[in-house]
Amino acid sequence: MEIGFEKSFESRFRESARIVKRIQESAESVVPDTDADIGKIAAVQSAVLLKSKDLSGRGVLITGEARACVLCIDESREHISCVRLAKPFSAEFEIAELTGEEQTQLSLAVAATDARLLNPRKVSVTFELAAELSCYVPESVAVETALPGESCRGLHVRCAETELTLPNAVCEKSFVLSEQFPLPAGSVKPERLICEQTELRADDCQLIGSKAVVKGRALIRAAWLGEDGSGPVQASFSAPFSQIIDIGAETMDLCTVRPQVTGAYYDLVDSISGEKVLDAEVHVLLQLVSRSRIRVRTVSDAYSNLTPIALQTETLHYDGADQRRTLRISAAESVDLTEDCADVRCVFPTLSRCALEGETLSAAANLDILYCTGSGELSAVRRTLMLEGECGPGKARLLTAGLAETDLRPAGKTMEARMTMEAELLYETETEISSIAAVTLDEEQAFDLSRFPSLTMVRREGECLWEIAKRYHSSVEAIEALDGGEQESRGMLLVPKSV
């Protein structure tokens, strides 16, 4: 006779697929008619926007737009101009065995950008984009396994408990962040923007009831030219945000939030006082995965005092997470310039080639430096600092990475540069549990209980009560009832025959 076990279940999510893609796109643009011929490319600032992600027949189809602002020094080396480029793109992530219940999350970033001058009136930009798609599907996790109420006479089971931290909510929310920023006091009166860049950071997530409160910041860097042709002038701005997301769960022990820019619009407008302000409108998609701890109770062994039994075993695999860490990595280097630096006009730092291999996190920090020489001409230099740090033992997953600090100290034909990267890592766990799914009782070969003594004295030699009870047709409960509560330290035990 086969006996299955009664199980109680809890709803969780399982990451069914994780796919990484590299997307390469190119775009060309000509210099506006109002600008002079280009003598040299000074810097390039790039960004990528996620426009849509939808389940398709074979997987997930995403669309987006790669943008670049190319800052150029004209042939006279006196003025700065800007060439803007945008390139729409799409990519499909093939997923086997789609269920239609997938919840998808996408991390989309610029891995590298290369700008080239084709001729004095034309530039070309090549984007390398890094995309990571995660798919989560709902699943039921058996958290409690027990004997059924009937037909279990003489059957004893031993249970084991394992604590897991598994996803219990996967959700997202879109919102628009609108803000007007006053320009720094004393700066030249602006005429037009030449570049903007936005970085989103989720700083905190707290659960109140079944709602997650996510707090973060939008960090905006912008540069503009003055009405008198001077500049560029560069400034940084910060706008906090707070969003409430109903996750439908009332426990959250670990949470990861991935913000993604889906739209960005900037302009210089007149305020009520008549002063120019930076008007920013940023469209944001917050992607959240909540994880909570559960205890999984499985049957690890079983025996019958009445008949021989056969055990049907199964192996359960769980992918969880146990902690989230922030890693800071710094690098310093002396940058050689081709000419004396009299004044640093703008610094454009970018992070590229961020990769996690084993326990090592590495990235390239690019510095585009626009400066004024001792003779009053404009010049530019690009240098790359390599960042590398150890993540420590464990299986880590890179969630977000960005530059936290940039420090430059010019001195003649050299410049001391120091850059710090801040990365958020999720440490994942793989748990394998071997359990018994069912037992089969061989009733035709039932034991003759009359052959076994009613009471046996056993010398204990490091065995646990379970093994002793199993061998002498008893039970842990019967031994404890007869020998009292100090049997762990006793050398001899009285083991009663028990059904």
Contacts of 186 (CB under 8 A, 6+ apart): none
Identify the sign of the CA torsion 109, 19, 424, 256: positive
pLDDT of residue 487: 58
Looking at the DSSP bridge assignments, the partners of residue 410 are 415
Q: What is the pLDDT of residue 13?
A: 95
Tell me the whole-structure pTM to 2 decimals: 0.88
Ranges 107-116, 228-237, 485-494, most confident: 107-116
When mean pLDDT is compared across 135-144, 226-235, 276-285, 363-372, the lowest value belongs to 226-235
| pLDDT given at position 413 | 80
Average of per-residue pLDDT across 376-404 = 90
Look up residue 151 and give its DSSP letter: S
Transcribe 273-304 into DSSP letters: TS-EEEEEEEEEEEEEEEEEEEEEEEEEEEEE
| In the predicted structure, residue 489 carries a pLDDT above the cut 60 | no
Count Cβ atoms within 10 A of the Cβ of residue 161 and give its class: 0-12 exposed, 13-18 middle, 19 or more buried: exposed
pLDDT score of 314 more than 60: yes
Q: Classify strands 341-357 and 360-373 as parallel, antiparallel or unpaired.
A: antiparallel
Residue 150 scores a pLDDT above 70: no
Whether 63 and 40 have beta carbons less than 8 Å apart is answered as: no
Which backbone phi and psi does 498 adopt, to 5 degrees? -150, 150
Residue 311 has pLDDT above 80, yes or no: yes
Mean pLDDT for the chain?
Answer: 90
Angstrom distance (rounded) from CA 285 to CA 174:
4
pLDDT tens for residues 175-187?
Answer: 999 999 999 887 7
What are 426-452's pLDDT values in tens digits?
999 999 999 998 888 888 888 888 888
When pLDDT is averaged across residues 213-232 and rounded to a whole number, the result is 89
From the list 395, 398, 417, 394, the residue with the least C-alpha distance to 407 is 417
Confidence check: pLDDT of 392 > 90: no
**451 vs 70: which has the higher pLDDT:** 70
Q: Would you say residue 222 has pLDDT above 70?
A: yes
Structure confidence at residue 163 (pLDDT): 95
Asked if residue 290 has pLDDT above 90, the reply is yes
